[in-house]
Structure 1
């Protein structure tokens, strides 16, 4: 083995893979029965996550950065003048096993530029996973990218060896895709998604009858959207995300701010990178849709097409809907409690459980660990010292920003440090 050449390939193909953020590793429980190498748990195999939940201990590489397509937003586009490289199948297998044995990684995230054809590329990705599972008896986490346009047969086979599959929709709208990737069709992305969704449903149904049914992509599927490469509003982005969650049963939709990689008159100018804060607001909105019972049009709509930069989406919604507040925490249902700014679902459950025994006041809330710095402006309880009824939305917003500005600056500086 030529170690210098392998190292050079690793530098090139690991660097090219950094633009893909859809690589968290939760949801799989591929157990090691004592004869294999490694395992993966439902809680995620990685011990380190970035602030927005991205896993940082996977070997994250491309099989190759050669590509037959010329997508304007992609660093591996065929017209881009970059150094090219390609791994052999066995090289990726050896790297994964050697890095795992040295405790550098706990799994593999494998993507690829599309070379020759989608099916040819997908076959090689599957070959890596198959060798790891069957020849190396590797039970660690494997995330494979689904290649747009790959056949149903290959998508089925991929799910037998991978814990998670993902095909990146890349641009949130069909019109944006036509502009920036005219060689690709929207159905090339959605066809593999539909196949994985149907196979997951079939596996769950068969599993109820036959316990020994081979696992199929136990961590589900995810996708990624590039934000800011075209002129989509936050409303366009979140409506697209909600569609993919519902239509294709996505585990996660990831939002990746556009990073200028080449000069192109269809793209924002070099140097106009999307602010990280916009990504953060989109992730916060995604969380509200999935866990807090919000509908997309409550947060972003024709009147408010973009998310508020100053405050998080939940607080922004509350300030626009003061008619629903203050909420009586001793009477409000779970849905309304979850809409109080500053109350997470854990606090909501604490309140619901505690009020079974007595009416709650401010002291009770503090004792059970409820954070009141924001919530106090939007709720009442069994106390007589609530003096915020005269405050309107603008005054409340000003007070919250004044009190949290220092904390926000510290958090934002931490995020910047993580991604630089």
Structure 2
């Protein structure tokens, strides 16, 4: 590889690491045997030490940018090394890395140089060259440029597997504070275009089988958490609204990393605790997959998530009067709400109890986290006094057990050495 390309790659791959929304599952693009690569049912990921996904060739087209967003390392006022790939260089890198089995696909984002359409046109040329000239069938995740024309966004959707556009801040107030040139209105417009075109193409495919698939892996967005003063409730309400309005596949929550010296940014000596990110993702799962409403988890009384325990356990402790439930008669939706019981375990419980009443040992074998669940369920042989606790006592018992297990695991790992 030429030294000039290596230098560009070093700069633009490093600049892209702050974008966490690089999921690669959900597409089913088929290879007819004449092309290169295959998305299959998704791509396996590897992660760096800071938890960033690196399974794709994850780069910016350029880190030149006309915007001066306070939280962004590529902002126009920041004194950093700048670089820009040509269309041909990105195509060549992708194909060469794929043939060497370094990557399984491409994640392409960009700063905005000159204007949105100028940048989007070059990104469109890249994905078209990969698909039409290189016959590349691997995974492509394309970041949409805010303000780009509807025609270019629509055409890009015919070649990309997933598209996304960053919401940046959870609220318009926070966005205007740190990125006054950007607007949630532009984000909504482009998310709306992709949503409408997806529905249109799906409807046409029901009549004409040869209709191409449009963004088959769906669309996503990302929010920076901790740079502005939004509560966890504000964040999750925004996420819920976008899920419902635009049928997003995922919302990503990126904890603010103090990489900027801009005086608009909060002064933080150390990065915010990653546990907040984790709790937001757990809440996101409860809303998308477990049937919870945002207001059940976060409301006027509880505007922030409990960092000590996961949001499902926190909700159960606040609603302790609803428990324990009888594991042998409770509805599936109630079993899902028991701390320590996941979707698969709940399904197994419902299937298993058709053959007889479930006992404690049987429920444990199903794979639930019994250390948590035991305070919220009754089996046939559950001792009556087991559930006679108050919520604060239960919380302390669970935390004590979790800490004990953690210390035991640490001791076992140390003993290996």
Counterpart position of 1:418: none
What TM-score do the two structures reach when normalised by structure 2? 0.95
SS state at 1:125 partner:
helix
Counterpart position of 1:77: 75
The separation in 2 between residues aligned to 1:40 and 1:305, in whole angstroms, is 40
* CA shift for structure 1 position 274: 1.8
SS state at 1:177 partner:
helix
Matches within 5 A, 1:259-274: 259-274=257-272
Equivalent residues of 2:341, 2:368 under 8 A apart: yes
The separation in 2 between residues aligned to 1:72 and 1:302, in whole angstroms, is 30
SS state at 1:355 partner:
helix
The separation in 1 between residues aligned to 2:267 and 2:211, in whole angstroms, is 51
275, 279, 293: which one aligns with 1:277: 275
* CA shift for structure 1 position 411: 9.7
Matches within 5 A, 1:270-419: 270-407=268-405
Equivalent residues of 2:376, 2:387 under 8 A apart: no
Q: 1:50 to 1:314 in 2, by over 3 A?
A: farther
Equivalent residues of 1:46, 1:56 under 8 A apart: no
The separation in 1 between residues aligned to 2:320 and 2:182, in whole angstroms, is 46
SS state at 1:109 partner:
strand
Q: 1:45 to 1:394 in 2, by over 3 A?
A: same
Matches within 5 A, 1:212-291: 212-291=210-289
Counterpart position of 2:39: 40
* CA shift for structure 1 position 306: 0.4
Equivalent residues of 1:46, 1:55 under 8 A apart: no
SS state at 1:223 partner:
strand
> What per-residue deviation string (whole Å, max 9, x for no partner) do you get for residues 339-388 of structure 1?
00000011100110011111111122123333311100101011142432
115, 131, 134: which one aligns with 1:133: 131
Q: 1:410 to 1:143 in 2, by over 3 A?
A: farther
The separation in 2 between residues aligned to 1:144 and 1:335, in whole angstroms, is 36
Matches within 5 A, 1:30-69: 30-42=29-41, 44-48=42-46, 55-69=53-67
**Mean Cα displacement is larger for which, 114-123 or 360-369?**
360-369
Matches within 5 A, 1:176-187: 176-187=174-185
What TM-score do the two structures reach when normalised by structure 1? 0.94
The separation in 1 between residues aligned to 2:339 and 2:240, in whole angstroms, is 22
SS state at 1:60 partner:
strand
Counterpart position of 1:143: 141
Counterpart position of 1:12: 11
* CA shift for structure 1 position 51: 11
Give aligned pairs, total.
410
Equivalent residues of 1:164, 1:218 under 8 A apart: yes
Equivalent residues of 2:345, 2:368 under 8 A apart: yes
* CA shift for structure 1 position 263: 1.7
* CA shift for structure 1 position 54: 6.4
The separation in 2 between residues aligned to 1:123 and 1:140, in whole angstroms, is 21
Equivalent residues of 2:94, 2:106 under 8 A apart: yes
Q: 1:183 to 1:197 in 2, by over 3 A?
A: same
The separation in 1 between residues aligned to 2:117 and 2:376, in whole angstroms, is 55
> What per-residue deviation string (whole Å, max 9, x for no partner) do you get for residues 221-257 of structure 1?
0000000010000000000000110001100000000
The separation in 2 between residues aligned to 1:75 and 1:234, in whole angstroms, is 25
The separation in 2 between residues aligned to 1:231 and 1:370, in whole angstroms, is 37
Q: 1:52 to 1:202 in 2, by over 3 A?
A: farther
Q: 1:63 to 1:409 in 2, by over 3 A?
A: farther
* CA shift for structure 1 position 53: 9.3
The separation in 2 between residues aligned to 1:78 and 1:411, in whole angstroms, is 47
Question: CA RMSD of the aligned region, Å?
Answer: 1.8
Counterpart position of 1:416: none
Q: 1:311 to 1:408 in 2, by over 3 A?
A: farther
Equivalent residues of 1:262, 1:270 under 8 A apart: no
Equivalent residues of 2:202, 2:213 under 8 A apart: no
Counterpart position of 2:21: 22
